């Protein structure tokens, strides 16, 4: 198993339970193990009846429609439906492996029906998975960075990895690659995004540098997804380059206006409810000059969204705020005045798609438009925060990697973010990443074990 | 990036709580996180409250994506334990005695030595050696060695003062940790707090399988040992109350027969006070010293050891009460009990009082509806 996150652990447990001797090569040390799983919180699962962790019911068809709508059809239907079918087994299977869930949450994001939340979050899930895997006899090698796979015509024979400066080669009957995307590889990101990539913040682990992905592509693995596609949200520009996780995200966009460094608005902040829109804002900001934007709001709405890591910047006037942000103050004042003048009065209600919108303004703000007029004024600087890239290897229904000509590999399997692009060609649906990891991790582990029997 | 840690305990606790409040992944783990998420910013006094809702069970630390070596260095149990110890000092009455919490292990040990030698010295001066080392039996035999009047006067005055000091402390804690919106009637909050205390559910890790003090594994050992210590203490206290009732209301004088209510309650409680403190002591020796900061262990060890020897000497007294060793054993037992009474408001015992107050506030403030969730 290459990569010790959720997908790798699910694969390791399944393979070991089928009698295979399993070694996990994990790039990070023990304290930072688990890749992006460490920063996750939930998975999306279909279910017919309410359960301890999930409210109501969420049919496979509804799940499929949700996926279809966020990806706008950029998804492999057979694999997506396979994932949805197996998603229903996950809460029970993970529980058996020691993972505990929170009772159904009833928050404003309305995810209690569709998403099962791990008690204590992704790191608690990892702790349980590692303990289960180790008790079964899975061997875990930390600090082990895989540099290269020896593959000829789609058949794997060994992997070369570095551990504390020493190079090792490990042979195995089969391999599962579950080591994520390439968002933490600055030079690869620059190849795809140009200099803009320098201003991206990587929300998760700094270990996902895509070395194995690149190696597989070089050895003839078929790829899926557009290299620019990724899960990217708006994060606080003051966040660290890596590993800032959940606390740097900002939920304030719908409560004010968002401008670029020239003080101009560039997208409808109130287009739809935040859970349906948060994942597009990373890409929107990535296309703005210098990849920076500012959410501007007044004191009326400051307490309406979840607190985040950094306090907002504040000033008594828009002019002062603009000068603190380094925006030409005339420009910001004009934008705010114009916005305020176009707001029509309606009945404000952040819980629904209300009727507070702008008139004759481009771009409009379709809902929750309130004038920005009550000092003090507040601003949060925003940057694109990348969770993971979607470019990955193509797989079949047994999680086997497809090599040139669409031929399934006899013993190379992939699971998790490295193959998420098969299902997520575009957009995002909260909790899908972990579902892909767990479902394809389990499939990869099951088939890798039998591929090794011969 | 805010990776530099503030110097004060309250500053560090506030820094950590602000990060937790933006994350909230631990909201199902214990009471601290739901209590936290009712607010956006935390005053010093609110932090004092949250610090006393924490049991440093370490479940959140092991679940934390920001735990060291992450540069955010979030260590909730360590930060809140540090602050909690400061609250013991800050709310102590009279105020100048609060500093006894600074080297608490030393203080409790010295106070114990002092109490023990005082009782022994008094006994040797006041009690005729012939009486001290004679065999006694039947009702009133204890009082032949140490007179009823002296026992009641010394125990009553020290315990009375301790009760006063504890109530003054908790009264100020309750007032200063803030005005808050009652979400439910006080009696229902009281019932909730009693239930939380009786079950120690917040040592359960949110899944009731418990938290291992050593690593990220699960274990209810600490919860069970704490139960033994708490119920043991309460049963011994009940035994004392029943004995007082027998003495004053029924005119039945100690010692009581083996199968009398005071002896039964005291014996069951005494077993709890042997097993609980010994187990907690043992767990502390093996615990993860990063999540549970070592420098506060002195206070814990001293209190646990004192409870243990009180129970041990109590059993000795029960076994030897018809022999010539009774007088000396009684003096030693009473010496340790006196030490407990003396140090009560300036020892780890205050944890019970402030924690109950914090649980009461938590139950009173707790809304029916849960709050918004963060999603990665």
What ranges do the domains of chain B cover? 9-91, 96-364
> For the segment A238-253, what is each residue's pLDDT rounded down to a tens digit?
999 999 999 999 999 9
Tell me if B170 sits within 8 A of B91, measured CB to CB: yes
Q: Are residues A91 and A104 in the same domain?
A: yes
Among A357, A384, A411, the domain boundary falls at A384
pLDDT at position A275:
79
Say yes or no: B60 contacts chain A, CB-CB below 8 A: yes
Among A364, A384, A404, the domain boundary falls at A384
What number of C-beta contacts closer than 8 Å exist between A and B?
A: 116
- The minimal CB distance from A107 to the residues B19, B40, B370 is found for B370
Q: Are residues A398 and A347 in the same domain?
A: no
Exposed/middle/buried for residue B148 (C-beta within 10 Å: 0-12, 13-18, 19+): middle
Nearest chain A Cα distance for residue B216, angstroms: 7
Helices A77-87/A60-71 angle, 10° precision: 140
- Residue A414's beta-bridge partner residues? A177
Distances from the Cα of A408 to the Cα of A172, A400, A439, angstroms: 18, 6, 18
- Terminal CA-to-CA distance of chain A, rounded, Å? 18
Exposed/middle/buried for residue A355 (C-beta within 10 Å: 0-12, 13-18, 19+): middle
Tokens of B30: 């214990």
- The minimal CB distance from A307 to the residues B22, B28, B370 is found for B22
Measured distance CA(A76)–CA(A425) in Å, rounded: 9
- Residue A408's beta-bridge partner residues? A402
Chain centroid offset of residue A28 CA: 19
Measured distance CA(A3)–CA(A12) in Å, rounded: 10
Q: Which residue of B has its CA nearest to A34?
A: B65
CB interface of B with A, residues 313-372, below 8 Å: 369-372
pLDDT at position B3:
47
- In order along its 454 residues, chain A shows pLDDT tens digits of 999 999 999 999 999 999 999 999 999 999 999 999 999 999 999 999 888 788 889 999 999 999 999 999 999 999 999 999 999 999 999 999 999 999 876 554 568 889 999 999 999 999 999 999 999 999 999 999 999 999 999 999 999 999 999 999 999 999 999 999 999 999 999 999 999 999 999 999 999 999 999 999 999 999 997 899 999 999 999 999 999 999 999 999 999 999 999 999 999 999 998 878 888 999 999 999 999 999 999 999 999 999 999 999 999 999 999 999 999 999 999 999 999 999 998 899 988 999 999 999 999 999 999 999 999 999 999 999 999 999 999 999 999 999 999 999 999 999 999 999 999 999 888 899 999 999 999 999 999 999 866 5
Number of CB atoms found within 10 A of residue A173's CB: 16
Tokens of A182: 């390439």
State the Cα angle at A353 between A347 and A358, rounded to 5°.
65
CB contact under 8 A, A103 and B64: no
Contacting residues for A137 by C-beta, under 8 A, at least 6 apart = A16, A21, A22
Q: Are residues A286 and A244 in the same domain?
A: yes
Tell me if A429 sits within 8 A of A66, measured CB to CB: yes
- The minimal CB distance from B207 to the residues A100, A131, A387 is found for A100
State the Cα angle at A393 between A390 and A394, rounded to 5°.
105
Q: Which residue of B has its CA nearest to A112?
A: B373
Q: Are strands A201-202 and A313-315 parallel, antiparallel or unpaired?
A: unpaired
Q: Which residue of B has its CA nearest to A132?
A: B217
Measured distance CA(A363)–CA(A267) in Å, rounded: 6
Higher pLDDT, A71 or B138: A71
In this structure, what DSSP letter does residue A290 have? G
Tokens of B134: 């004679």
For B51, the enclosing helix (H) or strand (E) is: helix B44-53
Nearest to A212, CA basis, from A17, A35, A367: A35
pTM of the predicted structure, to 2 decimals: 0.94
Q: Are residues A423 and A370 in the same domain?
A: no
Q: Which residue of A has its CA nearest to B2?
A: A310
Q: Are residues A222 and A246 in the same domain?
A: no
Among A333, A361, A384, the domain boundary falls at A384
- CATH code of the domain covering residue A405: 3.50.50.60
Residue A1 counted as domain residue:
no
Residue A182 counted as domain residue:
yes
Contacting residues for B36 by C-beta, under 8 A, at least 6 apart = B17, B20, B21, B42, B50
Nearest chain B Cα distance for residue A40, angstroms: 6
> Read out DSSP for B313-353?
HHHHHHHHTTSTTHHHHHHHHHHHHHHHHHHGGGSTTHHHH
pLDDT at position A299:
96
Say yes or no: A5 contacts chain B, CB-CB below 8 A: no
Nearest to A6, CA basis, from A119, A142, A133, A102: A133
Contacts by residues B312-317 (CB-CB < 8 Å, ≥ 24 positions apart): B312/B274, B314/B236, B314/B266, B314/B270, B315/B267, B315/B270, B315/B274
Range of the domain at A360: 232-384
SS3 assignment, position A383: strand
Q: Are residues A349 and A379 in the same domain?
A: yes
pLDDT at position B2:
45
Handedness of CA B342, B344, B348, B354 (dihedral sign): negative
ipTM here: 0.95
Nearest to A274, CA basis, from A290, A252, A248, A301: A252
- Terminal CA-to-CA distance of chain B, rounded, Å? 21
> For the segment A383-432, what is each residue's pLDDT rounded down to a tens digit?
999 999 999 999 999 999 999 999 999 999 999 999 999 999 998 888 99
Measured distance CA(A240)–CA(B2) in Å, rounded: 10
Q: Are residues A339 and A197 in the same domain?
A: no
pLDDT at position A293:
98
Tokens of B143: 């009082």
Say yes or no: A299 contacts chain B, CB-CB below 8 A: no
Q: Are residues A24 and A137 in the same domain?
A: yes
Measured distance CA(A12)–CA(A446) in Å, rounded: 9
- Give residue for tokens 């114990």: B112
Measured distance CA(B279)–CA(B236) in Å, rounded: 18
Q: Are residues A245 and A377 in the same domain?
A: yes
Tell me if A396 sits within 8 A of A415, measured CB to CB: no
In this structure, what DSSP letter does residue A75 have? S
- Using an 8 Å CB-CB cutoff, list chain A residues near B68: 31
- The minimal CB distance from A38 to the residues B65, B369, B371 is found for B65
- Exposure on the CB side of residue A113, measured as CA atoms within 13 A: 11
CB contact under 8 A, B1 and A238: yes
SS3 assignment, position A232: strand
- The minimal CB distance from B62 to the residues A42, A127, A240 is found for A127
Taking residues B277-305, report their average pLDDT. 90
Domain count, chain A: 2
Handedness of CA B140, B143, B149, B152 (dihedral sign): negative
- Residue A260's beta-bridge partner residues? A293
Number of CB atoms found within 10 A of residue A158's CB: 15
Say yes or no: B19 contacts chain A, CB-CB below 8 A: yes
Measured distance CA(B43)–CA(B56) in Å, rounded: 21
- Using an 8 Å CB-CB cutoff, list chain A residues near B372: 107-109, 306
Nearest chain A Cα distance for residue B14, angstroms: 12
- Using an 8 Å CB-CB cutoff, list chain B residues near A246: 22-23, 25, 65, 374, 376
Q: Are residues A415 and A295 in the same domain?
A: no
Q: Are residues A149 and A252 in the same domain?
A: no
Q: Which residue of B has its CA nearest to A433?
A: B376
CB interface of B with A, residues 266-285, below 8 Å: none
Residue A198 counted as domain residue:
yes
Measured distance CA(A38)–CA(A35) in Å, rounded: 6
Rg for chain B, CA atoms, rounded: 23
Residue B81: which pLDDT band, with cuts at 50, 70 and 90? very high
Q: Are residues A401 and A445 in the same domain?
A: yes
CB interface of A with B, residues 168-227, below 8 Å: 203
- Give residue for tokens 């895989």: A146
Measured distance CA(B197)–CA(B123) in Å, rounded: 40
Is the pLDDT confidence value at B368 over 80?
no
Exposed/middle/buried for residue B334 (C-beta within 10 Å: 0-12, 13-18, 19+): buried
CB contact under 8 A, A307 and B374: no
- Give residue for tokens 């320098």: A198
- CATH code of the domain covering residue A304: 3.90.700.10
Asked if the bond preceding A363 is cis, omega within 30° of 0, the reply is: yes
- The minimal CB distance from A105 to the residues B69, B70, B373 is found for B373
- The minimal CB distance from B40 to the residues A117, A303, A309 is found for A303
CB contact under 8 A, B62 and A245: no
Measured distance CA(A382)–CA(B226) in Å, rounded: 48
- The minimal CB distance from A109 to the residues B64, B70, B373 is found for B373
């Amino acid at each position: 198993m290459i990569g010790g996150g959720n997908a790798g652990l699910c694969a390791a447990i399944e393979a070991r339970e089928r009698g295979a001797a399993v070694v996990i090569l994990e790039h990070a040390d023990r304290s930072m193990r688990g890749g992006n799983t460490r920063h996750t919180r939930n998975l999306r699962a279909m279910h017919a009846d309410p359960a301890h962790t999930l409210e109501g019911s969420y049919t496979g068809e509804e799940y499929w429609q949700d996926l279809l709508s966020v990806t706008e059809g950029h998804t492999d239907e057979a694999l997506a439906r396979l994932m949805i079918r197996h998603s229903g087994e996950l809460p029970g299977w993970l529980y058996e492996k020691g993972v505990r869930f929170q009772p159904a949450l009833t928050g404003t994001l309305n995810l209690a029906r569709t998403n099962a939340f791990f008690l204590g979050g992704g790191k608690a899930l990892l702790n349980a998975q590692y303990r289960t895997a180790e008790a079964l006899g899975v061997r875990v090698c930390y600090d082990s960075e895989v540099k290269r796979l020896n593959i000829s015509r789609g058949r794997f024979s060994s992997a070369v990895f570095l551990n504390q400066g020493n190079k090792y080669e490990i042979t195995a009957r089969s391999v599962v690659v579950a080591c994520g995307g390439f968002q933490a590889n600055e030079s690869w990101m620059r190849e795809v995004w140009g200099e803009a990539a320098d201003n991206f913040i990587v929300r998760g682990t700094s270990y996902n540098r895509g070395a194995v992905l690149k190696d597989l592509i070089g050895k003839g693995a078929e790829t899926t997804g557009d290299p620019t596609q990724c899960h990217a949200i708006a994060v606080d520009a003051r966040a660290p380059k890596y590993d800032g996780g959940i606390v740097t995200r900002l939920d304030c966009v719908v409560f004010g206006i968002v401008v670029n460094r020239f003080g101009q608005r560039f997208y409808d902040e109130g287009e739809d409810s935040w859970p349906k829109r948060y994942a597009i804002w990373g890409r929107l900001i990535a296309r703005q000059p210098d990849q920076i934007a500012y959410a501007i709001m007044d004191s009326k709405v400051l307490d309406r969204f979840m607190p985040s890591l950094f306090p907002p910047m504040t000033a008594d006037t828009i002019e002062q705020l603009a000068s603190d942000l380094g925006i030409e103050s005339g420009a910001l004042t004009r934008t705010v005045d114009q916005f305020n003048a176009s707001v029509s009065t309606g009945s404000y209600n952040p819980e629904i798609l209300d009727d507070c919108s702008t008139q004759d303004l481009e771009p409009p703000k379709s809902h929750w438009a309130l004038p920005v007029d009550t000092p003090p004024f507040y601003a949060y600087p925003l940057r694109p925060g990348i969770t993971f890239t979607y470019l990955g290897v193509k797989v079949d229904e047994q999680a086997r990697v497809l090599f040139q000509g669409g031929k399934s590999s006899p013993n190379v399997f992939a699971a998790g973010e490295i193959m998420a692009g098969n299902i997520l060609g575009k957009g995002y649906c909260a909790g899908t990443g972990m579902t892909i990891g767990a479902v394809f991790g389990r499939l990869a582990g099951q088939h890798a074990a039998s591929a090794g029997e011969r | 990036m805010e990776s530099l840690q503030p110097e004060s305990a309250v500053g560090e606790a506030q820094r950590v709580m602000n990060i937790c409040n933006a994350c909230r992944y631990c909201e199902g783990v214990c009471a601290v996180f739901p209590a936290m998420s009712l607010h956006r910013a935390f005053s010093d006094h609110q932090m004092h409250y949250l610090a006393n809702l924490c049991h440093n069970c370490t479940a959140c630390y092991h679940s934390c994506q920001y735990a060291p070596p992450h540069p955010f260095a979030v260590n909730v149990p360590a930060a809140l334990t540090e602050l909690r110890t400061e609250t013991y000092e800050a709310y102590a009455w009279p105020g100048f005695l609060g500093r006894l919490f600074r080297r608490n292990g030393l203080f409790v040990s010295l106070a114990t030595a002092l109490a023990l030698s005082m009782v022994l010295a008094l006994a040797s001066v006041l009690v005729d050696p012939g009486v001290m080392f004679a065999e006694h039996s039947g009702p009133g035999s204890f009082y032949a060695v140490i007179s009823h009047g002296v026992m009641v006067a010394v125990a009553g005055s020290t315990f009375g003062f301790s009760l006063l000091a504890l109530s003054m402390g908790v009264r100020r804690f309750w007032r200063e940790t803030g005005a808050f919106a009652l979400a439910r009637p006080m009696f229902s909050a009281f019932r909730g707090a009693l239930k939380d205390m009786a079950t120690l559910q917040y040592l359960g890790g949110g899944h009731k399988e418990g938290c291992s003090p050593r690593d990220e594994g699960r274990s209810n050992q600490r919860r069970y040992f704490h139960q033994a210590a708490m119920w043991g203490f309460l049963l011994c206290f009940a035994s004392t109350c029943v004995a007082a009732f027998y003495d004053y209301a029924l005119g039945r004088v100690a010692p009581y027969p083996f199968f009398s209510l005071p002896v039964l309650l005291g014996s069951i409680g005494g077993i709890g006070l042997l097993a609980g403190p010994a187990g907690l002591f043992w767990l502390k020796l093996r615990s993860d010293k990063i999540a549970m900061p070592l420098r506060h262990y002195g206070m814990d060890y001293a209190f646990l050891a004192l409870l243990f020897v009180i129970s041990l000497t109590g059993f000795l007294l029960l076994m030897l009460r018809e022999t010539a060793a009774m007088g000396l054993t009684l003096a030693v037992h009473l010496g340790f009990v006196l030490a407990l009474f003396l140090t009560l408001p300036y020892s780890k015992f205050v944890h019970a009082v402030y924690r109950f107050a914090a649980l009461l506030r938590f139950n009173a403030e707790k809304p029916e509806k849960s709050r918004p969730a963060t999603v990665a």
